[in-house]
Amino acid sequence: MAHNVETMAYAGQVPWHGLGTKVDSNLSPEEMLKAAKLDWTVEKKQLWVSMGGGVDEDALLNSHSALVRSSDQSILGICGKDYNPSQNHDVFEFFDRFCRAGDMTMETAGSLQEGRRVWGLAKIKGGFRVNGGDEVEGYMLLDNPHIWGRSLQIMFTPVRVVCNNTLTQALNGADVNSTFRMTHDRLFTDIVKKEAEEKVGLATAALEVFKEQSKFLASKRYEDQALMRFFSRVMNPQAQLAANEELNPAELGRTVNKLIELVDTQPGADMKTSKGTWWGAFNAVTYYYDHVAGTDRDKALTSAWFGAAANRKRQALDLAVEYAEAA
């Protein structure tokens, strides 16, 4: 069984990544897991080393184990002796209480990196419109990596509806940190689930923080030079730009010029909240990383949600607020 970006299922409208198989609405987390063909387990199995050089017997490697997928016996990777696999069923069951209470609805689930990274997305109540126009919905993104050294995560993720941009992850602000992380030297016990529930309970507060940031960005207009400086710093955080230096688009590189183009061509660019505002500038960055950058969708999604692109989007939000405050 192949486990790639096509191993996905979604309910309702086609999600922003445009991938997966459509299923009935109102599926439980467990039903969504099965629909996405992710109802398998991961086991730790012994590793043996072929000694070679005329030595007949293999040697048992006690310090490490292989992580093996039950559905097809594929080796997902190796791990240390203290690693505890978090099973997909147990992790998705965590969302079930919120879905039963009506606080969330499961929308999509899938895997990346050939099944090494299993994720689920649930929409929370309480989306908003930026200054009465641009619609934003709040989601909780669950990331269950079967990768040694990677933590299980449950994080708040706003999505701009007009273009399906994932705007930021691991949102922190106003003393609100709605992200839960668990290293794999722990077990996903009831005590740990309670810690995670407390973080998920902060999602509404995190959405309110992002609402205020969005309204502020949409109320502030940029000048061309400031816009070019913003994009240059997003793409090169270490860039040293002189305060009075006049920037020339021809000297800024292909990616920065692509972002300048996307300000006016991205979905929703003509909306009053977006056109000429720092909200539109910020969304050019999120649109680029979610829909334009990269040709391998598996790698692009992994980066946009969990990797370097996710960090760039978080930095872009902070920078956009910084420039808007100076406008």
Confidence check: pLDDT of 306 > 70: yes
So what's the pLDDT on residue 221?
Answer: 97
Cβ neighbours of residue 77 closer than 8 Å, sequence gap 6 or more = 66, 67, 116, 146, 147, 148
Within the chain, residue ranges assigned H as helices are 29-35, 88-100, 190-200, 203-218, 224-235, 254-265, 278-287, 297-306, 308-326
pLDDT above 60: residue 190: yes
As a 3-state breakdown, the chain gives helix, strand, coil percent values, each rounded to 5, of 35, 25, 40
Tell me: pLDDT of 5 over 50: no
pLDDT above 90 coverage of the chain, percent: 39
Q: Residues 222-240: pLDDT tens digits?
A: 999 999 999 999 998 877 7
Q: Which two tokens stand for residue 84?
A: 């505890």
Structure confidence at residue 4 (pLDDT): 44
Q: Is 273 left (phi over 0), alpha (psi -120 to 50) or beta?
A: alpha
- List the beta bridge partners of residue 11: 23
What is the model's pLDDT at position 312?
92
Question: Which of 162-176, 191-205, 283-297 is predicted least confidently?
Answer: 162-176
Return the top range by mean pLDDT from 72-86, 178-192, 194-208: 72-86
What value does the mean pLDDT take over residues 194-211?
79
**DSSP string covering 227-259:** HHHHHHHHH-TT----TTPPP-GGGS-HHHHHH
- pLDDT of res. 280: 97
| 21: its two tokens | 């198989």
210 closest CA partner among 287, 124, 303: 124
pLDDT in tens, 309-327: 988 999 999 999 999 999 8
pLDDT of 17 strictly over 80: no
pLDDT higher for 49 or 269? Answer: 269
Residue 6, pLDDT > 70, answer no
Q: Show the tokens assigned to 18.
A: 């445009």
**Is the pLDDT assigned to residue 85 strictly greater than 70?**
yes
- pLDDT bin (cut points 50, 70, 90) of residue 141 is confident
pLDDT tens-place string over residues 89-122: 988 888 887 777 777 888 888 898 999 999 988 8
Query: Residue 71: what pLDDT?
Result: 92
Asked if residue 29 lies in contact with residue 96, where contact means CB atoms within 8 angstroms, the answer is yes
Structure tokens of 256? 């920065």
pLDDT one-digit tens code per residue, 282-298: 999 999 999 999 888 78
| CA dihedral (27, 105, 187, 47) positive or negative | positive
Spatial CB neighbours of 95, under 8 Å, sequence gap ≥ 6: 29, 104, 106, 120, 122, 140, 142
Residue 29 has a pLDDT of 85
**Position 297: which residue type?**
R
In the chain, pLDDT over 70 holds for what percent of residues? 87
Round the average pLDDT of the chain to a whole number and report it.
Answer: 84
pLDDT for residue 173 is more than 70: no
User: What's the distance, CA 62 to chain centroid?
Assistant: 35
d(CA 70, CA 270): 50
Distance CA 109, CA 44 (A): 24
Query: What is the rounded distance in angstroms from the CA atom of residue 208 to the CA atom of residue 211?
Result: 5
Cα distances (Å, whole numbers) of residue 100 to 29, 94, 95, 309: 10, 11, 9, 33
> Which DSSP state fits 289?
I
User: Two tokens at 259?
Assistant: 């972002």
Least confidently predicted of 102-111, 209-218, 262-271: 102-111
Task: Tell me the C-alpha distance between 253 and 89, whole Å.
Answer: 46
Q: How far is CA 243 from CA 119, 246, 323, 326, in A?
A: 43, 9, 13, 13
